[in-house]
Amino acid sequence: MKFSDIFVPRWQHSNPEVRKRAVERLKDSKLLEQIAEKDDDPGVSRAAMVRLESIQVKETVS
């Protein structure tokens, strides 16, 4: 853990596992799109895509 991790949102944490858990709670679709496109860790990108899809499905069902 870096000292700077204390001051950034969880989805920007240096540890990819922390970022994955944070992505699972996000509701902002634009932010999820950015994370899916730009995160260095493929697991985090994939988690953001899955979360984004689940949000879009909920929106179309409602």
pTM (predicted TM-score): 0.88
**For residue 43, what are its two tokens?**
């697991």
How much of the chain, in percent, has pLDDT values that exceed 90?
Answer: 84
Per-residue model confidence (pLDDT) at position 62: 65
Q: What does the pLDDT look like over 25-51, one tens digit per residue?
A: 999 999 999 999 999 999 999 999 999
Give the separation between CA 55 and CA 26, rounded to whole angstroms: 10
Read off the pLDDT band of 23 (50, 70, 90). Answer: very high
Contact indicator for 37, 44 with CB cutoff of 8 Å:
no
Per-residue model confidence (pLDDT) at position 38: 98
Give me the phi and psi of 29, to 5 degrees please.
-65, -35
